[in-house]
Amino acid sequence: MEHLKLYFTTAYWKDLALSFGQALHTRKFWKELVMMTIGMLLGAAAVYYFLMPSHLIVGTISGLSIVINTVCGGNADTLSFWIMGINAFLLLLAFVLIGNEFGAKTVYTAMILGPLIQFWDRVYPYTNFTHKIIDNQDILIQLSQGHSVLDPNGNPYLLSRSGEVLEQVRDSVMSAGLGMGDLWFDLICFVLLLSACQAFEFRINASTGGLDIIGKIINKYLHFDIGASVSIGGAIICGSAFLINDFRLVVIGLIGTWINGLVIDYFTVAMNNRKRVCIISPEWERIRKYIIEKEGRGCSLYEVEGGYTHTKQIEIQSLLTKDEYADLMKFMRDNNIQAFMTAGNCSEIYGTWLIHKTRYENFMEDLHTRRMLFEQKRQEYMERRKQYWENKLRKKK
C-alpha cells in the first residue's frame, strides 16, 4: 500500500522529471535510444513477416494480440492497437506489482512495437510474398462495396493499398505454395529474429515488455525460476490459439515458445560471456600493470604455494572480455613472459565490473558536470521567478 502511495506524491514525480532531464543531456541516453529502436525494428519484422501470414501463435504478447485481432476480424492496423493496449495494461501491472524495475526503457520498447509493425506494413507488405495481383472487375466491385469474396481455396480476396485485387498463392512468407508444409521455416525464422531482438535489448538493460512482465510477476508471487515463469506465461498464451487454430498449429507454437527460451539464453550467455583468467608467473607485476593500466580492469592477487615444490608465488585473477583476453595473450607472447595460466568462461557477473573503468570514470565525470549545469540553470530560473514576483508585489503596493 505504501508503494502505491508513492506514485501520488509530488516529490516522486519531481525527482523522476529531474533524473529524466539530466539523462537527456547525455550521449549514452541517445545512443541507447537508437539501439533500442533498431532492436525493436527487428522484432516487429519477425512478428509482421512470420507470425501474421502463417497465423502461428508463439507464446508472446504479439501472439495473443493476433488471436484477439483474428477473432475480432481485424487487420494489420488494428493488430498494432491490440499490441499497444495489452502492453500498456501489463506495464501498469508491472509498476504496481513489481515496481520501477523495468523503467522508461521497457515503456518505450513496448509502446513502439505496434507502430513499427505498421511501418513494415506500409514500407513492404507481406502480401508481396503471399499474394498476387489479378485482373477481375467483378471481384473488385464487390470488395470495393465492402463484401467478402473467397477464392477457390477458401481464402478471402484482398484489396491492395493501390486498389488492386490480391489472390493468396502462399500460406506464408517461407512456403512454396498453398499447404502447411513450411510452417517450421516460419517458426525458425521468427524465433531467431525475435530472440536476437530480445537478447539485444537485454544487453542494454532493456526488454521488449509483454511476456517478460508476465514472467516477472509469476516469478515474484509464485516463486518459480524466471525461465520457468516465462515458459508458463508463454504456454498460457499459446493455449489461447485454440480459438483460431487447430491442434497441430498450437503444438508448433508451444515448441516455438520452448525454442525461443533456449535461443534467448544462448544469445544472452554468448554476449555476456567473460573470461576468468588465473595466472601464476615470476613476472606477475608486469602482468598486473598491463591489466590495470592498458585494459582498465581490476585484478586480485593471491599468495599460493605449490603442492609439489612448496614454492610460494603470486597468482593473479581477473575478469576480461574476449577481446581483452586476446590482447593479454598477445602481450604475454610478444614479451616472452613465462607463466602458468588457466582461463574459463563466466556468464554471470554482478557489480561495477560491468562498466569499464575508464568509461565509467568519464561517464560519471560527464554526468556530474551536466548535473551541476542543470542545477545552476535551475537556480537561475528560481531567482528570476522570485525577483519577478517581488517586483509584481511592489507594483501592487
**Strand intervals (E) in the chain:** 131-134, 158-159, 165-168, 274-280, 300-305, 312-320, 340-346
- In tens, the pLDDT along 195-230 reads 788 777 777 767 777 777 777 777 677 876 656 676
Show the domain range for 321: 274-346
Beta-sheet strand order (sheet of 165-168) = 131-134, 165-168, 158-159
Residue in 163, 153, 162 with CA at minimum distance from that of residue 130: 153
Residues 117 and 220 occupy one common structural domain: yes
How does DSSP classify residue 156? B
Boundary (domain end) residue, out of 271, 293, 315: 271
Residues 92 and 12 occupy one common structural domain: yes
Residues 118 and 38 occupy one common structural domain: yes
pLDDT of 68 > 70? The answer is yes
Flag whether 284 is in a domain: yes
Secondary structure (DSSP) of 208-270? --THHHHHHHHHHHH---HHHHHHHHHHHHHHGGGGTS-HHHHHHHHHHHHHHHHHHHHHHHH
Boundary (domain end) residue, out of 346, 369, 384: 346
Residues 207 and 105 occupy one common structural domain: yes
Residue 167 β-bridge partners: 132
Amino acid (one-letter) located at 371: R
- Please list, in sequence order, all residues whose beta carbon lies within 8 angstroms of the beta carbon of residue 366, skipping any fewer than 6 positions away: 26, 27
pLDDT of 83 > 90? The answer is no
- Residue pair 98/220 in contact (Cβ under 8 Å)? The answer is yes
74: left (phi over 0), alpha (psi -120 to 50) or beta: beta
Flag whether 289 is in a domain: yes
Question: Distance (Å, rounded) from C-alpha 206 to C-alpha 33?
Answer: 10
- Residue 101: what pLDDT? 55
Q: If you average pLDDT over every residue of the chain, what do you get?
A: 76
> What average pLDDT score do residues 263-271 get?
71
3-state secondary structure of 300: strand
Residue 131 β-bridge partners: 168
Burial 4-34 (b: 16+ CB within 10 A, else e): eeeeeeeeeeeeeeeeeebeeeeeeeeebbe
> What average pLDDT score do residues 90-104 get?
68
What's the angle, vertex CA 83, arms to CA 75 and CA 269, rounded to 5?
125
Boundary (domain end) residue, out of 218, 253, 271: 271
- Residue 362: what pLDDT? 56
- Residue 72: what pLDDT? 78
Residues 181 and 289 occupy one common structural domain: no
- Please list, in sequence order, all residues whose beta carbon lies within 8 angstroms of the beta carbon of residue 3, skipping any fewer than 6 positions away: 99
Flag whether 138 is in a domain: no
pLDDT band at 303 (very low <50, low <70, confident <90, very high): very high
> What average pLDDT score do residues 79-96 get?
76
CATH of the domain at 316: 3.30.70.120
Q: What is the pTM of this model?
A: 0.62
Residue in 316, 108, 307 with CA at minimum distance from that of residue 208: 108
Question: Distance (Å, rounded) from C-alpha 339 to C-alpha 326?
Answer: 16
Residues 227 and 85 occupy one common structural domain: yes
Residues 235 and 313 occupy one common structural domain: no
Is 57 or 151 the better-scoring residue by pLDDT?
A: 151
